[in-house]
Each structure stands twice: as C-alpha cells, then as structure tokens.
Amino acid sequence: MLHNAGKTMEYLRASDQDGKTEQFSDKKLVWIVSKETGFESAAVIQDKGEDLVVSKTSNNEELTVKKEDTQQMNPPKFEKLEDMANLTYLNEASVLHNLRQRYYSSMIYTYSGIFCVAINPYARLPIYTKEVINSYRGKRRTEMPPHIFTVADEAYQQMIQQRENQSILITGESGAGKTENTKKVIQYFASICGVEAKTDGHGLDDQLVRCNPVLEAFGNAKTIKNDNSSRFGKFIRIHFGAHGKIHSADIERYLLEKARVTYQNPDERSFHIFYQMIKGMSADERGTCLLSDKPSEYVLLSNGDMIVDSINDVEQFQETKQCMDILNFSKDVQMQIFKFAAGILNLGNTITSLKQNKRDENCTIENTTWIERASHLFGLNTMDVTKALVKPRIKVGSEYVHKGQNADQVKNSIKALCKSIFEKLFKLVLDMCNETLETKLRRNFFIGVLDIAGFEIFDFNSFEQLCINLTNEKIQQFFNHHMFTLEQEEYRKEGIKWDFIDFGLDLEPTIELIERNMGVFAMMDEECIMPKATDKSFLDKLNRQHLGRHPKYAKPPAKSQLSESPVHFQIIHYAGVVGYNVDGWLDKNKDPLNENVVELFVKSREPLFAKLFEAAVEVATPGRRKKGGSFQTVATIHKLAVEHLLITLRSTTPHFIRCILPNMKKKSGIIEANLVLDQLKCNGVLEGIRIVRKGFPNRLIYQEFVQRYTILAPKAIPQGFMDGMKATQKLVEALQLDENSYRMGHSKIFLRAGIIGYLEDLRDERVKTVLIGFQTLARGWLARKKFKRLLDLRIGALVAQRNTRQYFILRKWGWWRLFTKVKPLLSVSRQEDEIKHKEQQAEQFKKEKSTDCDSALIPLLR
C-alpha cells in the first residue's frame, strides 16, 4: 500500500476530516452562476415560485435569481469525492466544484464513472515513483485512490484474465497533459511487465520509452497553450505474450499538423527538431547540413529565435541523438535525416529570392544560394529543380509543354513541397521506430494507447478542425455506445428491466452530415475533380444541399460576416456549435504537389530521400489515384484511417482518460472555471453524466443502505436477523419512496439522481434531532450536577458561618476557657487506665497459653 510511498498519499486521497465533517447549513444551499468562478454557493432565503431570493455565502449579498438558473448542492459528505458518478446531484456546478477542490489539494486524478479525469498540475508531483507503481500493481480500482496507474493496471489485468485486447483512450486539448499521461502509461507497463526481447543490450521496454523523445522532436511544437504540444495523434500498440511479457510494439500516427512547417501563429514555434539542430549541433555538423546558428535567418521559422524557458534545445538535441542510437538509427541515417530537415529550411528561404517579371506572368529566382543548398542536401541537380519550380512541364493534349509560373504559384509550390517532405520525413522516423520495436516473438494480445487531440472550437476553424472534430465525434459515439452496453450489462446482471437509450445514436446525424453520401467530405471530393471548382462553388453546393434541410447544418451568424475570416457554415456537434471557414479547403483536400519536382525527388542521389517519394510519383496532383480511378484525397484518407482506428477499438475493451487544461497561464493551483467547463463538455464528461442521469446512477449494496438509513425509520426493521434485500424493501416502504425513483436488484438498490441527496437531507435532520436530544439530556445532567454542587457549597458555607459565630461568642467565656485547658488532662488519665487494662489482658493471655502447653506434654511423657 501507499504507506511505503512517503508523503505520496496527500497528493492522491483526501483525509476523512478534509471538508467532509463540515456542518451542513440549516438553510437550503444552491449553486448560482458566477462570472468569476463559474458557480458560487448561495443560501435560499425565500421561494417565490419561479424565482428564488438567495444570499451569497461569500459576502451575504442578497439577489433574486430564476429557479431554473440554480443547481442543487451536494451534502458535505460528498466533498472531494473520488468518483463523481456517486454525486447525488450530478450537475455542472457540482462536477466543477469537486474537481476544483481536489485540484487545490494537488489531487489531479478523479473518476467520473468509467472516465478518469486528469488535470494538468503544472508541477512535478511525487506520484509516479517506483514505489507508487508497485503499490498500484494488482489492486482493484476501489482499493486505491484515483490514478492513471489504476487505469493502466486495470487494462493489464483484464487482458491477462479475460484474454482480450485492451485500449486506453487519452484525449484532451493542447496543454492538457495527454502526452505526459501517455508516457506514464507506457512507463507503468515497462516497469511491471518486463520483456523477453533484448537487442544490442537495450530492452524493448527501454526502447519503447525512448521512442517518445524522438517522436516529440519531429512531431511536437510550442503552442500558446503548451510548450511541448503534440501536433499529431498516435495509437501505440504494446503487444504481449501469453505470460504477460512485452513482446513487441508499433505506433500509428494520425493528422500530423504539417501546415506548421510553413507558418506559426504569434508566440508559437515550428517543430522542435529545427531549433534543436540549429542550437544543438556542433559547428562541423551545421556545416554538413548547411545550417546557420540563428533561427531568425529562416523564413519558415516565422517567429525567429523564440526563447522557451521550459525547453533547452541543446540538451534535447543530445537526448534525441542518444535515443536514436538506442533505437538502432545508424550515424549515417541520423545525419541524412538531419540533412533532409535542414534542406526544408533552405528550400523555404528560396521564397525570399523570387522575383516577378514585369513583362509577363513568369518569375525568376534571383539569389540561387538557398535553392543550391537545398538541392545539395536532397541530392538533386539545382538547374533541374529550378526549372521544375519556375517552368514546370505540363501535358497539353498528347504533348508536354513548359508553362511559366508567377511568384505566388511558385511560392505555394515550395510551401507544399516543404510540408510534404517533412510529412514523409516524419513517417520515415516513425517507420524506423516501428522496425526497432518489431520482434519475431509471438503476439497474443495488445494494449493500445490512443493519444489524440480533443474537440476544437476556435475563433477560426478550418479543414483541420473539421477532421479533428469528426474524429472526436466518432470516438464520443464509440464511448456512448460502450457506456450503453455496460449499463445494460449491469442492469441485466442485477435482474432489472429498464428500457435504456443508446445515446450513441444521438451523434449519428452529425457524422452522417460530414462523411456520408452527399456530406461535406463527399461533396468536397467531388469538387476536387471538377476543373473550374472553387471554394465558393463548394460552399454554394453545401448550402443548396443542407441549409434548412439538415438538422445539424446551420447558417452562420450575421455578425461573423464582418470579420476578416468570416464563418461560412456551422455544424452542430455534441460539444457545441462550430463555425467553419472554407477558404483553401479544396487545395488542402487535394494536397497538390509539383509533379515535376516529385519526379526529380525519386531520382535523387540520396537513396533514402528517393525512397521517401517512391510511392508518391504515381499519385501526384490533382489527387491520389488508386485502382479503379477513385481519388485518395486527404478527407478520404482521414476517413479511412479513423474507420480503421474504430474497428480496432471496437475489438478491444476500452478505458477512458480525459485530460483537462486548468488555465491559460500555465501555472499551478489556478482553475479557470469557464475554460474547464468547456473542456468537460468537449471531452464528453458532461455528456457521460447526462447519459447516467437518465437511468439510476446511484447504487448501494443492501447492507450499506440499511446501515446508513435505518435511522430514518428505526421501527421498520424488526429485531433479529433479516435478509438485506427484505430489510431494504421494508425501509424503502417506510420512507414512502416513489416506485419510479428506485429499482431493487439482486445485490444492490438502484436510485435515481437526487434520491441519495434527499435521503441525506432527511438523515441530517434526524441525526440533528437525535444529537439535540442527546445534547439536551447531557446539558440537563451537567446543569443539575452543577446546581447540586452549588447547593452543597451553600450548606457548607452556612455551617462554617454558624461555627465561626459560635467560636467568637465562646472564646471569651471563662468556663469555656477552663474546659479547653482541662480537656487535654482528662485524656492523659484515661491513657493510664487503658495501659493498665492492656497489661492485665496480657498476663491473662500468658497464663492460658502456659496451661495449654502443659496439657499437651503430659501424654508424651507417659
């Protein structure tokens, strides 16, 4: 247990006295809306039907609020509850309050039914040590405080016992701690499972952990919310043998944000690897990669040399290289990878050398330094690359001709190439990691860990946000259906008949709008093959098909049309209404590449670089063509990838972790209420609570129910033994609960939301009455005892006063004075008489003893 883990327990579990022994106010307390804290407590002073007169508990300010705008407050016994599904009043205010109070006490993990909610602590807590790992190993969920290790161990134990694949879904927005929690899950498995495969002196568990720094270097970046934000989703499969040992692993990636290569928002950086190379390489290595030591010299690093306090690029570059060594990246391959990354930066700088011709629409590259450097690093001929960019060859009828490009067209072509090269470079690194993690050992089961961006609602939402939101919509549908299945199983096991609703069906219209026939993706793919299609024609087609016809498709608000990036249409997601801007969607969906340059890339003198584009030479613009003539657009690829992921997830037993960003200041101990509430909604936590409230969320075993609530009807249960179910039934009848508010199972009683709170209020009143009666008896006894003592003191005082008065009267009387002097002499004479009497008794005793001895000796002498 955790008693061996030092002070760890204070970061995981609240003490029994921690807020739970507070006196519950005699007044009815409710939650009211607050701009500063989300919700704050208030006491009800007067009920006026639809309105309530309340007094804020913080400052006693009185105000009138709508009854429908208030939310019920839980009794103190529910303070800092470890599982919010057990809250008797399941509402936003209670969930926020519970999470906030636990977070203020540094307890970052909390359960919400089958969810584990994790709030980024922005501090290093001593809850991931080897001792803590050992204390959680093999323990049931109810035995230990909430922790991500509990989720990991539960998945592992179920895999071993049920012989089924498992998955752990970790979602949340940037900065919420998804990547860190993913690392902790992998750390846990690597620690408890051990391995049977070792290569080059390094265990597979060590290599699995070492993949993180390498993938973070190429796939993570500094954003406004997070200094180490993962800009891609990944599904890590850890394969186990029959005895629970790690045999191999592999990693799949989703939605790399390659647009970050060419542009970063203010106060953000591009991918870490560029800064690591510029700052961490030696002078010789930079010379080989033709790199400067100043990030500000490169156009693609929009914000220059941005200093991030939490990141040391020099140290992290050394760590990246060390991890590559452990993952069996040869020195030559490492240098080639770095050269290709440096080539992207040099190619990007070619943009600054473009000059538009005044006489025609053609352009030229004035300063060829950057294109020469990029061509050298990629193993290409500079003249061929320049010609392919400025005057690409196109097919007109049956012949090929060279068509001049203007500066903007060449600029867009260069940016597209930079993004494509980096995407393929990232895939190469990932493939090499997978190759190292692959072994020849038999795979029996796997545990998959999904680390993917959560639902996104920004001021400006584009094609990338739609893809991410579709993914989360389908994952939420998967969760809702899974929760429905679990609930149905629990009800069936307890023998309860209940027509439960499959809430997964609620999300089907939105998913259908995006990816089904005549949906957003299908119509966008259709436009991509039309020769004169534009983003506007695509939007017009969407509006004609869905506006006013589909319940989840909405017209944008009028005020948004005045902004620089107006909302073109809205989709009603489960997490909220999201407005999308379609500018550039067709190009993003086609993901066009300069076909001439791609053909050059395949002929590169660098075999590794040529290998990157071998698969792309046949599927260049306008779309990626498969057999049968169907286009493989970005939307289609993403849709297929998500479907493949869901097929995998459906074959597993899922476990859910929802990561929460507490504030935008990146500081510990601060909760921004509205930010957290938005994430709870986007993460599906509030959706899960909504589902639970439709049924019977509060469940107690019969013995516990009887033990706690017998005080409400002590005469309902007769003396002696009685079965728990029968005792509960008699107690429920005595309490006169509505038949629709509970169900009796085989071992538990199922209660509607709010019933436990109602019973707790009655119990508080009953306990209060009993305690008042006890206090009355105790105070009466103490008062009577005190009164008797006062009476005794009064009698004693009177006796003392009387004797004192008599003494003062007698002390001068002559006879009294004579008596006091003679009295001692009388006692002396009595003492002489007593001594004489004692001596006589002693002589008599001696004579009797002497006679007895003579009588005893006479028979012996004869």
Active site residues: 174-175, 179, 226, 229-230, 454, 456
Q: How far apart are CA 72 and CA 78, in angstroms?
A: 13
Distance CA(634)–CA(590), nearest Å, equals 6
d(CA 634, CA 623): 9
> Tokens for 847?
């004579």
In angstroms, the CA 699 to CA 846 distance is: 91
- Count CB-CB contacts under 10 A for residue 220: 23
Cα 654 from Cα 449, distance rounded (Å): 10
- Contact in structure between 418 and 377 (CB atoms under 8 Å): no
* Alpha-carbon dihedral sign for residues 816, 818, 824, 826: negative
Burial grade of 29 (CB within 10 A; 0-12, 13-18, 19 or more):
middle
The structure tokens listed for 541 are 């087609």
Write the CB contacts of 638 (distance below 8 Å, at least 6 apart in sequence). Answer: 254, 255, 467, 470, 471
Reported residue count of the chain is 862
Report the C-alpha gap between 507 and 472 in whole angstroms. 11
Q: Do residues 511 and 474 touch, judged by C-beta distance below 8 A?
A: yes
- What are the backbone dihedrals phi and psi of residue 383, each rounded to the nearest 5 degrees, phi first? -65, -40
Contact by Cβ (8 Å): 295, 274: yes
Provide DSSP, 53-70.
Answer: EEEETTT--EEEEEGGG-
> DSSP class of residue 620?
-
What single-letter DSSP state applies at residue 741?
Answer: G
Helix intervals (H) in 30-162 = 92-104, 130-136, 148-162
Instruction: Report the sign of the C-alpha dihedral through residues 55, 59, 63, 69, in that order.
Output: negative
| Phi, psi values for residue 306, rounded to 5° | -80, 125
**CA–CA distances in Å: residue 143 to residues 137, 140, 340:** 11, 5, 52
Distance CA 458, CA 149 (A): 33
269 burial level (CB within 10 Å; 0-12, 13-18, 19+): buried
Strand 62-66 relative to strand 51-56: parallel, antiparallel, unpaired? antiparallel
Count of helix runs (H) and strand runs (E) in the chain: 26, 26
Whether residue 42 contacts residue 29, with contact meaning beta carbons closer than 8 Å, is answered with: yes
Of 125, 126, 137, 116, the closest CA to residue 191 belongs to 137
Encoded tokens for 127: 């809850």
134, 623 contact by CB (below 8 A): no
- Residue listed under structure tokens 């230990």: 144
Measured at the alpha carbon of residue 614, what is the angle toward residues 609 and 619, in degrees to the nearest 5?
Answer: 130
CB atoms within 10 A of CB 717: 16
**Rounded Cα distance, 391 and 360, in Å:** 13
Transcribe 534-561 into DSSP letters.
-HHHHHHHHHHHHTTTSTTEEPPPGGGG
Ramachandran category for residue 456: left, alpha or beta (phi over 0 → left; psi -120 to 50 → alpha): beta
Peptide bond into 557 cis (omega under 30): no
SS3 612: helix
Q: Reduce the DSSP state of residue 601 to 3 states and report it.
A: helix
